[in-house]
Every structure is written in structure tokens, then in C-alpha cells.
Amino acid sequence: PLLLPPPSKPHWSLNHYTSRFIDHHNALLNALDNSLLSRSKWIGILSDAAGKLVPDLNVVEEAWNVVVSCRRQIKWTYAYGYYAFSLPWPSLGKEGSTGIG
């Protein structure tokens, strides 16, 4: 894993990003649990109620996979944001204009 030095940000910012990271990690675990529960329990009940075969309800499993993927991306957005916005933005004033011919 990539280890970055701690950025020089106020303490409240660290708390903000850490709490959001933990909240979204818990939401990811909840989505994984719901995904497994839908595969094991609810897909059979839905199949009986809708009168369709279980393979025909593949869209439910695909939807849960998308939810889990989104939760994973949102979770890591906060870790990225904490470090990305603590570094100085590069100045492209001179460098950008010298290459234009």
C-alpha cells in the first residue's frame, strides 16, 4: 500500500474525512450483507412472487453489485480527498504558455 506523509491540515479536517470514511465503510459492509441476503433469501421469495425463474432475476444481483461498487468508490473518495486537497496546486502559468507556438 502507498503510505503518504500526514498532510498539514487542521485537526477538524482529519476528523471530518475519517468519520466519513468510517461511515461509508459501514455502508459498504451493510450493502455486502444485503447483497448476500438477497442472493440467499430474497431472490427465491421474489421469484415466487413474480412467477419468474431465479436466472431471470439476474438483474437484482447485478444491481447489488453496482451498489457495492459505488459504496467502495465513495468510501475511498474521502481518503483521497484528505490527501489531494492538502497538497499545493501546481502553477501552470509559465509552463503552460511556453509550449504554445
* Segment 11-22 mean pLDDT: 78
Mean pLDDT of the chain: 78
- Cβ within 8 Å of residue 80, ≥6 positions away: none
Q: What is the C-alpha to C-alpha distance for residues 29 and 92, in angstroms, rounded to an integer?
A: 42
Tell me: the pLDDT tens digits for 26-72?
A: 999 999 999 988 888 888 888 889 888 888 888 888 999 999 999 99
From the centroid of its chain, how far is CA 81? 12
pLDDT value of residue 44: 86
Q: What is the C-alpha to C-alpha distance for residues 10 and 7, in angstroms, rounded to an integer?
A: 9
